Amino acid sequence: MSAGIVEEGKTVSATSYGIGNPVFIVGSATGKDGIHGATFASGDLHEDSAEDLPSVQVGDPFTEKLLLEASLEVIKTGAVIGMQDMGAAGIICSTSEMSAKGKHGMNIYLDKVPTRQKNMHSWEILLSESQERMLIVVKKGREKEVLTVFDKWDLNCVQIGEVTSGTQLKFYMNEEMIANVPADSLVLGGGAPIYEREYSVPAYYHENKRFNIDSVEEPEDLRQVATFLLSHPNIASKKWVSTQYDSMVGTVNMSTNSPSDAAIVNVRGTEKAIALTVDCNSRYVYADPEIGCSIAVAESARNIVCSGGEPSAITNCLNFGNPYNKEVYWQFVQAIKGMGKACRKFQTPVTGGNVSFYNQSSDEGPVFPTPTIGILGILDDKRNRMTLDFKYAGDYIFMIGESKNDINSSEYLYSFHNVKKSPAPFFDLDVEHKIQSVIKHLIKKDLIESAHDVSDGGLYVTLAESAMPKNLGFSIETDFDVRADAFLFGEAQSRVVVSVHPDKMDNFVDFLAAADVEFSNLGMVTEGEILIDEESFGTISEAKELFENALPKMMM
């Protein structure tokens, strides 16, 4: 969450919210479902957890859309001084953060807060995490302008308090003061307690390090592996899920039928667009939390870059087991270190996020640590939008980056060979940063036709995904210095597959030769056949049928 002063439609540093200015709550009514959401992350899962529902409050995307549009409109009136969304810990968090940052106190009257259930206790109203709500501070005398905007959007907008001198937060219920606390004492950096917990390295971490690729026999039939991976639920198309929802209502998506590594949203009236992506591979994080979380940030950034954007900021959803388990807490600490290193490298500040602990049960233990990373990127010029699909038969296929004799933590090793203990795949943050810089320049110089990063399933899956949209194929040669299974199915990081039109070949090679990065000519785009070392792996139509129908068949 963030709290700030809003002046004439712009956010500036918070210095004062102004004594006597009214405080409004806007959006959905507070409900007890939000209390369940608040308490869900304070105990392990158990066999009766389903009876605790609603464990997590149910969001309403339509109301959220209305709230976002109304918030943008009300800022333009100039009547709003400060605004903050409500998330974790509800009203108590939003009021304390805004008060601490604004150097003022607040009087808050909880009986004025709109509620969905009758007879809610004061503490329930304070802590409810019901979604789609904002807390705003308004210039005194301009309340009517604000109310008019939110009434237009059919949203609740109720004054629940006012800004006061000093730094005290005073909460009232039916004219009775129920709490009187200094705002700073509830905010990190003020007086809120910071916990130092013990942690220890799990034994499995050292076992992972002992993995040797030579202990895994290379399959004789690599076509069998290719078929297995394309139809694996972790890799297969999720179209069966996404097409059940109307993704186009009220959106301004750009060319949604042209696939890219990130979602692209048009910014009307400008030459700009927004790129969005979410990534995390929990196998990598379990194998090595620091490296795995760095990879999650790097892959998100890579997807933005491969789509023509510049990574700008991240948010996160950090999912872990019980933090009082020393090994789980070690995973968390290491993951945060990895996230920090990668964010500093890509200059992507963490603008918000949440932590979900206690995701474990007595029977199965903690979930794989899953620090999901979402990145927002900016396309300054929509013409630089890049897609992942091959365009024409006869185009050259190159890989930017270096193949490694590495199958660590790959879906191939984990699922096909059932080897669960190995390190995280190869990753070098400096190499990753350099590769992404090269891809940006290739796109801006219009030297490539497509770009798609190598990730889950390895190079083979990347090539297949690039070939499927236009029903093209590919013919490539493997690297004889690397095992064929590692070359095709390994998930070593910092690799991007691009296609190049023959007319641009010379300029493309000249640029890369001067760029000081590894690159290799894999082969060519075909009319539809898949050839690897001149051996047929079938057609792209057959691969597409496996890839797109794996989930529907599982659900039948």
For residue 123, give the DSSP letter. Answer: H
Q: Could you give the C-alpha distances from 538 to 198, 219, 344, 468, 474, in angstroms and in order? A: 54, 18, 44, 13, 11
Question: pTM for this structure?
Answer: 0.86
**Domains, the chain, ordered by start:** 4-186 (3.90.650.10), 203-555 (3.30.1330.10)
Mean pLDDT of 468-492: 96
pLDDT of residue 43: 61
pLDDT above 60 for 227: yes
At 336, which helix (H) or strand (E)?
helix 326-346
Query: For 189-203, 310-324, 336-350, which range has the lowest pLDDT when averaged over its residues?
Result: 189-203
- Tens of pLDDT, residues 333-353: 999 999 999 999 999 999 988
State the pLDDT confidence band at 14, using cuts at 50, 70 and 90: very low
Strand, coil or helix: 539 = strand
pLDDT of residue 87: 80
Mean pLDDT of 61-81: 93
- Give the C-alpha separation, 373 to 297, whole Å: 6
At 82, which helix (H) or strand (E)?
strand 80-85
State the pLDDT confidence band at 45, using cuts at 50, 70 and 90: low
- Here the tokens at position 469 are 């949209």
Instruction: Give the alpha-carbon dihedral of 450, 451, 456, 462, to 10 degrees.
Output: 30
State the pLDDT confidence band at 421, using cuts at 50, 70 and 90: very high
Mean pLDDT of 117-134: 91
If phi over 0 gives left and psi between -120 and 50 gives alpha, with beta otherwise, what is residue 275? beta
